[in-house]
Structure 1
Amino acid sequence: MSGERTGGAAADEPPVVVKVGGAKAVDPAGAVGDVAHLTANGREVVVVHGGSTVVDETLERLGIEPEYVESASGVTGRFTDAATMEAFAMAMAGKLNTELTARFRSAGVDAVGLSGVDGGLLSGPRKSAVRVVEDGKRKIRRGDHSGRIESVNADLLAGLLDDGYTPVVSPPMAGDEGDGEVKPVNADADRAAAAVAGALGADLVLLTDVSGVYADPDDPETRIDAAATPEELAAVEDAAEGFMGKKVMAATEALEGGAGRVVIADANVRDPVVAALGGEGTAIERSALGDGAGDDAGGGEAPEEGGETA
């Protein structure tokens, strides 16, 4: 069940989806405090988290070498075979989601931890084969356990929010095998947050370890503060390199799905969520999609690239 959320919070304040990065350089402490502040003041918040560093550490302890592959369009993501998928579920839904939910509860937030499998929260087809580029050649890699999110159970999230809970959401997602069987599969956390924000008609804050998108990736002084037109969005897309490219892709998907606006901002500053909502970071407005913005709200297919990175 997907589609824009109606009702619930104060009419002039949409819900906020906060994506907390999973890289070691991202400290969630500021986000935890801000979510506690926002929810105490009546704002509905959904948290989505990544976990690339902990997944890699779990693989290392199990003696499995993490493998990243490049898609045909140049996006890098994790290749998730059966053994990696087992470690991924242990690290994300088992360890990280539980620990982060406990941190929110310690801060006074009535947090509820969920994986994308729970209640079919995040669902779509499993991609058992992916197109990759190796040594400059395009190949098909089989045995992957990743998926493309096509549906968000917005009713589940709405019910929790209406009852005063703050959902803390983690991949894996529910992967449809095509024969009615469902398996947990890898999904990128940025794009999971985008799907949730679109389904709820929420504002999306993507927290990372830099202050936004830089026109010169090596110079923080060149941060692009806002994109409100298609031309400005194109400039942001051109400037985004590496991991930032996937965040901008997620931002666009969120807006196409129905989100109000997206802010890419620094997790490690004081009051990072409140600061992002107040103008810090790179804000991408729905108007940046141009005419017809949001025509596909709540639906639409994501491009083929999948797999968690951060």
Structure 2
Amino acid sequence: MTNKHHTHDARDARWTTPAAESRGRLRADGGAGAGATDSDTPPPPVVVKIGGASAVSPEGAIGDVADLADRGRDVAVVHGGSTAVDDTLEALGEEPTYVETPGGVVGRFTDERTMEVFSMVLPGKLNTDLTAALRGAGVDALGLSGVDGGLLTGPRKSAVRVLEDGKRKIKRGDHSGRITDVNDDLLETLLGDGYTPVVTVPMLADDGVAVNADADRAAAAVAGALGADLVVLTDVEGVYADPDDPSTLIGSVATPEEFDGLKNAADGFMRKKVMAAEEALNAGAPTVVVASANADGPITAALAGSGTHVAASAVGTGDGEPTDADEEATG
């Protein structure tokens, strides 16, 4: 994955202004930005992925984004909307199609009608609603899709590999793509000017067509481009060793061996989140946390230690290239 990196001078200057200092020093417990050691060294930005499942409540995250932004921490928000897309498809008399890849990843298959609904629901309604809610909480939020400014770009897929009745098959369809480039100049400019980007798919394919992409992996691409900590908020407390037993929460992952165990434990849709974690860390994110969106102060809690924390050391010396599953299903 390639990105147009540049210096963070604007953000560094904003962090050390008297106004920022007057809002209080960074707390070592991560409440105002984990990882900072003093007020003169800005912590990395935070990319927050808010899941689109019906069991995910965004209210706590909205308040937390407002608190972090008020303390001077740069935050970018990425969101999905799977439940809203399914509900809209069903209201239109269409049946959502999900497929399983040979690697066990469950994802959405996007046909032409589904792509039309995505364009209506995600950048049209959900992004507008979330941006408005953040602005109502005092955040200078600005909504974007991956098409805007060529924010998220890459090749279009012509087919996906799926597993049906125990057999590997090729399912043809060209309404999804693989994110390979992030316009981080655009994001850095917005952050440097004090805005909080609120990003959603679709992405812009290399032939100039808007296509679907998985929101978890879009968040990973954004986090990697910004060198940001990635907090993936979902409807469970993190990754469980036993998917049916919350008491088996995997708290931290720091070695390749532990990461192998994490991948083996991830089940269903959680596999995509672990895949996204790997891609984000390989692309330059310092840390990825998978945590509950429904906790009190979910982002602050995640930065302070709740959820499943995956360190960059867990993926070794990855090259940032997408995994094989990129040629399979889209979210």
Normalized against structure 2, the TM-score is what? 0.87
3-state SS, counterpart of residue 263 of structure 1: strand
Q: Matched residue pairs, number?
A: 299
Kept in 1: contact 2:239–2:250 (CA 8 A): yes
- Select which of 250, 264, 268 maps to 1:238: 264
2:279 equivalent in structure 1: 253
Shift of 1:3: 4.9
Q: Which runs of 5+ in 2 are unaligned?
A: 16-40
- Stretch deviating more after TM superposition (197-206 or 75-84): 75-84
Q: State the distance in 2 between where 1:43 and 1:228 align.
A: 25
Residue identity in the other structure for 1:186: N
1:95 maps to: 125
Q: In the alignment, what sits opposite 1:2? A: 3
CA distance in 1, matches of 2:321, 2:261: 24
Per-residue deviation at 1:134?
1.7
- Structure-2 separation of matches of 1:283 and 1:305: 26
1:65 corresponds to 2:95 = yes
1:34 aligns with 2:64: yes
2:318 aligned with 1:305, yes or no? no
The structure 2 residue matched to 1:117, chosen from 131, 137, 147, is 147
1:285 and 2:306 correspond: no
Whether the 8 Å contact between 1:147 and 1:306 is mirrored in structure 2 is no
After TM superposition, the structure 1 stretch with the greater mean CA deviation from structure 2, 227-236 or 36-45, is: 227-236
2:209 paired with 1:188: no
Higher mean alpha-carbon deviation, 84-93 vs 231-240, is at 231-240
> Which among 160, 174, 177 is matched to residue 144 of structure 1?
174
1: CA distance, partners of 2:70 / 2:328: 37
What is aligned with 1:53? 83
**Bigger strand share:** 1
Give the partner amino acid of 1:269: A
C-alpha distance in 2 between matches for 1:47 and 1:153: 15
Distance in 2, Cα, partners of 1:243 & 1:95: 24
Report if aligned partners of 1:149, 1:192 keep a CA contact under 8 Å in 2: yes
SS across alignment from 1:25: coil
Mapped partners of 2:208, 2:100: distance in 1: 26
8 Å CA contact retained: 1:116, 1:170: yes
Q: 1:254 to 1:3 in 2, by over 3 A?
A: farther
Runs (4+) of structure 1 exceeding 6 A deviation are none
Measure, in 2, the Cα distance between the counterparts of 1:5 and 1:242: 37
Report the 3-state secondary structure (helix = DSSP H, G, I; strand = E; otherwise coil) of the residue aligned with 2:142: strand
Give the structure with higher Rg (CA).
2
| SS in structure 2 of the partner of residue 126 of structure 1 | coil
Match of 1:272 among 293, 298, 306: 298
Question: Conserved in 2, the CA contact under 8 Å of 1:4 and 1:198?
Answer: no
Q: 1:6 to 1:14 in 2, by over 3 A?
A: farther
Matched residues in 2 for 1:211 and 1:68: separation?
24
Residue 210 of structure 1: SS of its match in structure 2?
coil
Distance 1:110 1:149, change over 3 A: same
Offset of 1:112 from its aligned partner? 0.3
How does 1:130-141 map onto structure 2 within 5 Å? 130-141=160-171
Alpha-carbon RMSD across the aligned residues, in angstroms, is: 1.3
Please list, as runs of the form range in 1=range in 2, the aligned pairs for 1:10-25 lying within 5 A after superposition: 10=15, 11-25=41-55
Q: Give the alignment partner of residue 215 of structure 1, picking from 234, 238, 241.
A: 241
2:268 maps to a residue whose letter is: G
TM-score normalised according to structure 1 size: 0.93
